Amino acid sequence: MVSAIFILAIGLGAAFLLGLLRDTWRGLAYALTLAALAAMSWIAGSWLVALAGGLGPVEIRTAGFAPPFAIALRMGLPEAALSLLISLTGLLSAVYMRGTLMRLGRRAMAVLLIAVMALVGIVLTRDAFNLFVFLELTVIATGGLVLLSADPRALGAGFKYLVVAQVISILLLVGVIFAYHATGSLNIDDMAAANLVTLKGGAIAFFLMFVAVVAELKPFPANGWALDIYESAHPAFSAILSAALSAAALIAADKMLSIGGPEWLPVASSLGLVSFLGANILALAQDNDRRLLGYSSIGQVGLVLVVLGQRDILGASTPFIAGGLLLAHAVAKAGFYWLSGLVQGRSLMDWTALRGHPVLIFAFVTFVALLLGLPPFPGFYAKWGLVHALAADGRYLVLGLILLGSLIESGYLMRWFGYIIKRPQVDLPPLPSLSKRAVVLTAVAAGWALGWIWGEISGYPNLLLSIPLLFALGFLFIEWLPAWVKNLVAIAGLGAWFWYTFPGYDPLHLIYAAIILVGGAVILVASFDAKGRRVGFYPPAMLMYAGLSMLILAQDSFAFFAAWEYLTIGSYFLILRGKKSEPHALSYILFSLGGAFAILAGLALGAQGVLPFDVADLAKAPARLAPWIFALLAIGFMTKTAAIGLHIWLPGAHAEAETDVSPMVSGILLKAGLFGLTLLLMIMGKQSLYGIELTYVMLWIGALSALVGNLLAAFQEDAKRLLAYSSIGQMGYALFGLAMMNHLGWLMALMFVINHYIYKSMLFLSVGGVAKRTGTRDMYRMGGLITLMPLSFIAVLIGIIAVSGVPPLSGFGGRWIFYNAIMSSEYRLPMVLIFLSGPIAFLYLFRLIHTIFLGQLKDEHRKLKEAPLWLILPQMLYVAFLLGFAVVPGLALRHVDAYISEFFPAHALIWDDITITSTFGYWSPISIMVVVGCIFAVLFLWLLVLNHRAQKVKQFNIVYSAERPFRPETTHFAWNFFAPYRKALGFMTLPLVTRFWQAQTDLLHSTAQVSRRFYTGNGQTYAVHMLAFAVAVYLIWMGS
Amino acid sequence: MTLVTLAIATGFALVLIGLLGALTDRNILRMIVAFTIANTGVNLVLIGVGMLPGRTAPILDEAVSVAQAAARIVDPVPQALVLTAIVIGLGVTALMLAYALRLHQTRHSLDIRTFTELKW
Amino acid sequence: MPFEWVQIPYALLTLFIVVNYGLVLTALIQKIGARVGRRHGIRIYQNYVDLLKNYALRTHITHGVMFYLGPVFRLTGGVGLLLFVPTIFGSEMFSNLSFAGDLILALYFVFFGSLGMALGAGESGHPYSAIGVTRGLSQVTAAELPLALAVFAVSLQYETLSITEIVAAQQGGVTNWTLFTNPLAVAAAMLSFLGSMMRPPFDVVLAPQEIPIGPPTEYHSAYLALMQTNRVIFPVAKVVIYMNLFFGGATGWGEFAVKVFCIYMVSVLVGVVFPRFRVEQSIRWFLVWAVPIGVLSIVIA
């Protein structure tokens, strides 16, 4: 194998060689540059392969002497990986900058080579002074490369950088010489072995070196200079700065920490946390893309520094975790900067240019997922390990701050993505350059490859290799097919997976599986209505279904959480597809990710470092932690069911989604939260925190959700929003049922699971069909559509009877079980709210059917047709199923009933042939149906006999104060339908929760707006920041 | 006060003077000069740290034979370091001067306060 | 309780008795109301005349399918409610079709007719209908709550949801009635009762002055006849539930007649004294006065 020192030698040599070439031979110079970078990459790559294959780290002694008499280099696995990263980034950036380099000639190329060489040198060297030299070389090279930019402001930025770099170099040099004085060696390992920090003057020497190296990480807040460079430099250089320089600086910091020993780890952690949180908060206020990415870089590097600072508990897994985060960051950020070079404007909105370029959008999504640590990327494995280690060791503050920072980070990245997809497109198309796009796509490929690698070495089954995920990803490759073909494939896939996994389900899981897979397939029937190719629909939809179907199969906590993330991401993209859904999709993903973090923290607390961790082992959680685990998980799951307080994302998200997406995210996706809650309660049972029983709290939350959801639904003018609020209420009922923790409560909850899927999917489809025809979702703009859209009307009619719980349809079964359940419950007071919310459902249901289908038909609607066949078809299936389920609920429920008896033996139902008997009462669905049917038929026949000649009269043939109205608008009583009710109970609909969350985000944003003034733009101020930072580090060190 | 202490004290004094100048003077040329002063100070400190009183320069010639070297010469490493540091300092200074030139050409100003269009 | 065919004629017999009783009862009540207002009032058989007349009238008008079916829904609701509840305690003959379900069925079936009728009225396109329905629905959310709480309290008290068993538990003397064993629940239920009987102060739904008669505005002839039939059955059916839950049920038709009349009269007595509430006023009234009693009853139970 070629010695690693040749990486440096080639870089240096080629740079010299470039100087010998004639300035006009630019093509040759460029080829030489590329060849050198490729050779460097190849050497680093071959080392990486060899080291990964089991070779131990290799020490390289220059000049043939052992340290301290000569400089030593070391090539170990981390060094090889980072060398490869750096030289590849350099190579790709060189390809990317072809035009600029050719214009500026060989000098620029030489500087680029020196930069890459110096960065690799920082990685490899084990000598403190040599580190200084390479750092200074980096500074000089950076100073040169900043000038590659076409942006005239880069000049100022470069100078500021040099000013700060001078300050840093003074600190470092003084530190190095005193460290040498104390230990007699410049070798880092010797310094560590001599225990530098305990020697006389050694501590202060180390402090100076440490501050200087950490300063290279551009720590918040002493980083104004770096941000200016990020903003103004050539994007390909920013890519090097963000990916390669950060990586090099981090490994330098790691070397320093190896000298500093355990007492400096907390300092590193604190600095990292401040950087991670501060940079992410300030990024919220940015509207320049590159500056925002710069902030994000600083935040990510801070996070890796935290990981390095936690090495005392991470131990041998430190490289895996730090590496996962660092590589994910590097690839994503380099990719982002390269992508930013394709975008012609610098505002975040200018990225709307990417729209219509699915490949670039996919690249963007990949980079965001890499940064946020979403599965299946390395950051996911890394965060998983990190959080578990922190939780096991009780470092809750660090854990909490990391999760908070991640949430803020996802806030601005997801918001940006929303802009790209939804904001008005700017008239600046992305640059057509093929080579630049190829570079971006290389980063994408590298990201996925890293995901695969991290999956392989994680010790878990590789997330990338699960069949449902591969199926979903497969849709990326058939995006060019027409929608109906993809739809067929999707339906077939869901059906096949159900068939394949069917034998493995117990009755409880079977219900969820049937809803997700079979139910999902039924909703997809409506998707046949879509025309064209429908690009961007199937991959996320199938990702959501993949997540859902993996969720119910998950045994260990890792698989469970990964599935949870999949379904969250998939549904986010789905929701975002709606016309006006940008803000709602954002609030959905933020609440969901917040909830996911709560789940992650809960699982980590439960696992206590034991991995892999079977979810069922949550039952064995230590009593001290159990209630906290329970609370965290419950909050996470309740975010998904939109329990009151965490519900504000739902109405917009469900209402603005596309016609066939609304039933998916309402009818199916909400069940994920219920599934989680079911598992949680089944495993952990009742828990008390400070003497308060948590299930009792959940009971109240469920009841309040039911009440507020129903009440708000009654006041909506928008039909889909009405249905969305109704979902909040329905989920409240289900939560209430589960929280009752008795047999019938659970049965009721599961009945709600089935019923809610059916009627909410059906109602969303019919209302969606109506909205499609009328062009509005405002109910007061509709009216009298019954004769034009009779099938939709029937679906809504059956739907509202079922929702309201009026016999003889299946909703009544839910109510009957509910009453039996509360009879055996020990709680009374929360029932009051449930009783109150029950009749309120009638308000919104009547409004829904009346203002759309009854009343006066509008003139502009006179020629409307029935909703499209593909939308009607699933509705009719649902109608048939609802009627069937109403008559024979036992088909599904008695198995579940028997299954629940394993957990709650008391109060099981008795399923005789036609009558269902509980401890308290009885219910005979078939008899009810027959009796009601007979009475109805007899009376109907009688009326027919009496009035068989009745003919339909014209619309305005009504008695109206002796006048005849001729305008439907004035006669259709629909707007503000429940005005008196608003007078009476409107105070309960004040948007207090929305205001609360709004205040939180406003607070963050104003903090960001105010604190960013700190970066005055003056280079001297930045230098003062740097010195102040050094003093602050000193104080932290003294304090710790 | 020994020569060593004096050298180190002077070095630090130069560093502080240099930093003070670099952080307070608005003219970028004077800032560059200030940094060179600070660098000189650092170099002085380096030398001072490596200095052993009563010994000679680490040059092996007729005056100092290889056998005596360990007892007669001062530590050669800091001296080597200083050489490198001077070279690097020169490079950085040159680069800064080049920047100053370009800044003056494009912006017609040498006041650091005028280059604040990138901020926040 | 297995089903036997003979139960059908028995149920029809109950229906027949109740219709006649209801016709007379409502006329009598109307007369009482008129006398309080110093008017003479209708003749005691006037309801028969009206009903026969309306059944005899023919119409050529319908506003559509739901309009046509509205009265059918309405009357199905009334008849069903009556038949799902055992009328006479201890009588196999008059336990009707209660094998189909328990108290919960009865409570929820109350809404069947209202919902159907509201839909039918809605299709007529008359704004008064819609306004009447919104008022009714709004009021019912608050008015039903005390009843729901009382029913919960009572079923907790007797640990059953079977109406027959609840009545059985109250046998053996007046003091065994829920009225005396659980007065709070009964108080709450009776306040709720006021709200559901379409009498002042809670008759804003039909509000003869503002929205002529509310939901049924457009209904006439045989449609109206069906609704009038319901209007004599439905209150009785509802009172029967109250009677069974709170007042010991009835062991014979005599007791039935007296108890139903007395319970009905509660709403009449209140109604002739008080003026009408607006919707939001009645909602507040129920939430402030009736609901706390109901809450108290379930907390104590």
Residue of B nearest to A177 (CA): B46
> Is A165 touching B (CB cutoff 8 A)?
yes
pLDDT at residue C212 is higher than 70: no
Chain A stretch 771-810, residues whose beta carbon is closer than 8 A to a beta carbon of chain C: 784, 786-787, 797, 801, 804-807
Q: Name the β-bridge partners of A471.
A: none
Give whichever of A39-48, A617-626, A811-820, C292-301 has the largest mean pLDDT: A39-48
Cα–Cα dist C77/A939, whole Å: 11
C-beta atoms of C61 and A957 within 8 A = yes
Chain A CB contacts of C149 under 8 Å are: 831-832, 835
C-beta atoms of B120 and A157 within 8 A = no
C abuts B (3+ Cβ pairs < 8 Å): no
C-beta atoms of A1017 and B91 within 8 A = no
Chain A CB contacts of C137 under 8 Å are: 839, 842-843, 846, 978
C-beta atoms of A156 and B23 within 8 A = no
For C196-211, what is the mean pLDDT?
78
pLDDT at residue B69 is higher than 80: no
**Alpha carbon of A361: minimum distance to chain B alpha carbons (Å):** 28
Q: For residue B51, name the pLDDT band (cuts at 50, 70, 90).
A: confident
Q: Which domains does chain B have, with CATH numbers?
A: 3-52+73-114 (1.10.287.3510)
Residue of A nearest to B105 (CA): A155
pLDDT at residue C166 is higher than 90: yes
**Alpha carbon of A829: minimum distance to chain C alpha carbons (Å):** 7
Tokens of residue C39, six digits: 């008017």
For A334-363, what is the mean pLDDT?
94
For A1008-1017, what is the mean pLDDT?
90
Find where tokens 């089935």 sit. Answer: A754
Residue of C nearest to A805 (CA): C108
> Is B110 touching A (CB cutoff 8 A)?
no
C-beta atoms of C62 and A950 within 8 A = yes
> Is A431 touching C (CB cutoff 8 A)?
no
Cα–Cα dist A544/A667, whole Å: 13
- C61-62 and A951-952: which strand pairing? parallel
ipTM of this complex: 0.96
> Between B42, B100, B118, which is nearest A153 by CB?
B118
For A918-941, what is the mean pLDDT?
93
C-beta atoms of B117 and A162 within 8 A = no
Report the pLDDT value the prediction gives residue A1, as an integer from 0 to 100: 79
Report the pLDDT value the prediction gives residue A552, as an integer from 0 to 100: 94
Q: For residue A807, name the pLDDT band (cuts at 50, 70, 90).
A: confident
Tokens of residue A364, six digits: 């963007």
Longest dimension (CA), chain A: 115
Output the 3-class SS for A321-339.
HHHHHHHHHHHHHHHHHHH
Q: Is residue A1029 part of a domain?
A: no
Chain C CB contacts of A928 under 8 Å are: 100-101, 105
* Secondary structure of residue A243 in the 3-state scheme: helix
Q: Is residue A985 part of a domain?
A: no
C-beta atoms of A958 and C124 within 8 A = yes
Cα–Cα dist C71/A940, whole Å: 9
Chain A CB contacts of C214 under 8 Å are: none
Cα–Cα dist C43/A714, whole Å: 44
Q: For residue A961, name the pLDDT band (cuts at 50, 70, 90).
A: low
Lowest mean pLDDT among A273-277, A488-492, A983-987: A983-987
For B82-89, what is the mean pLDDT?
92
How many CB atoms are located within 10 Å of the residue A864 CB? 17
Chain A CB contacts of B42 under 8 Å are: 170, 173-174
Element holding A1014 (H helix, E strand): none
Domain span including residue A648: 466-936
Residue of B nearest to A1013 (CA): B120
Report the pLDDT value the prediction gives residue C208, as an integer from 0 to 100: 63
> Is A70 touching B (CB cutoff 8 A)?
no
Find where tokens 């896939």 sit. Answer: A493
Region for residue A688 given its phi and psi (left: phi exceeds 0; alpha: psi -120 to 50; beta: otherwise) = beta
Report pLDDT digits (tens) over A734-792. Answer: 999 999 999 999 999 998 899 999 999 999 999 999 999 999 999 999 999 999 999 99
C-beta atoms of A170 and B81 within 8 A = no
CA angle A388, A394, A400 (to 5 degrees): 70
**Alpha carbon of C256: minimum distance to chain A alpha carbons (Å):** 24
Helix-then-strand count for chain B, H and E: 4, 0
Chain B CB contacts of A1018 under 8 Å are: 112-113, 116
pLDDT at residue C1 is higher than 60: no
> Is A975 touching C (CB cutoff 8 A)?
no
| Cβ within 8 Å of residue A503, ≥6 positions away | none
Report the pLDDT value the prediction gives residue A62, as an integer from 0 to 100: 79
For A511-523, what is the mean pLDDT?
95
> Is A940 touching C (CB cutoff 8 A)?
yes
How many A×B Cβ pairs under 8 Å? Answer: 124
C-beta atoms of C161 and A787 within 8 A = no
What is the DSSP track for C143-207? HHHHHHHHHHHHHHHHT---HHHHHHHT-SSGGGSHHHHSHHHHHHHHHHHHHHTT-TTS-TTT-
pLDDT at residue B56 is higher than 80: no
Q: Is residue A617 part of a domain?
A: yes
> Which residue type sits at A730?
Q
| Total domains, chain A | 1
CB-based burial label for A503 (10 Å; 0-12, 13-18, 19+): exposed
- A922-923 and A688-689: which strand pairing? unpaired
Report pLDDT digits (tens) over A451-507. Answer: 999 999 998 889 888 999 999 999 999 999 999 999 999 999 999 999 999 999 998
The answer to whether the beta carbons of residues C279 and A978 sit under 8 Å apart is: no
How many CB atoms are located within 10 Å of the residue A679 CB? 21
Chain A CB contacts of B92 under 8 Å are: 136, 139-140, 143, 162, 165-166, 169
Report the pLDDT value the prediction gives residue B35, as an integer from 0 to 100: 95
pLDDT at residue A201 is higher than 90: no
Report pLDDT digits (tens) over C232-266. Answer: 999 999 999 999 999 999 999 999 999 999 999 99
Q: Is residue A79 part of a domain?
A: no
**Alpha carbon of C99: minimum distance to chain A alpha carbons (Å):** 7
Report pLDDT digits (tens) over A63-99. Answer: 777 777 788 899 999 999 999 999 999 999 999 999 9
Tokens of residue A583, six digits: 């803000």
Q: What is the percent of chain A where pLDDT is above 70?
A: 100
What are the structural domain ranges in chain C? 7-300
C-beta atoms of A156 and B117 within 8 A = yes
pLDDT at residue A319 is higher than 60: yes
Report pLDDT digits (tens) over A221-230. Answer: 888 889 999 9
pLDDT at residue A310 is higher than 80: yes
**Alpha carbon of C66: minimum distance to chain A alpha carbons (Å):** 9
pLDDT mean across residues, chain A? 92
Q: For residue A989, name the pLDDT band (cuts at 50, 70, 90).
A: confident
Chain B CB contacts of A1005 under 8 Å are: none
More confident residue, A684 or A966: A684
C-beta atoms of A840 and C223 within 8 A = no
How many CB atoms are located within 10 Å of the residue A200 CB? 9
Report the pLDDT value the prediction gives residue A962, as an integer from 0 to 100: 67
**Alpha carbon of A791: minimum distance to chain C alpha carbons (Å):** 13
Chain A CB contacts of C72 under 8 Å are: 936, 939-940, 943
Report pLDDT digits (tens) over C23-39. Answer: 999 999 999 999 998 99
> Is A65 touching B (CB cutoff 8 A)?
no
What is the DSSP track for A663-682? HIIIIIIHHHHHHHHHHHHH
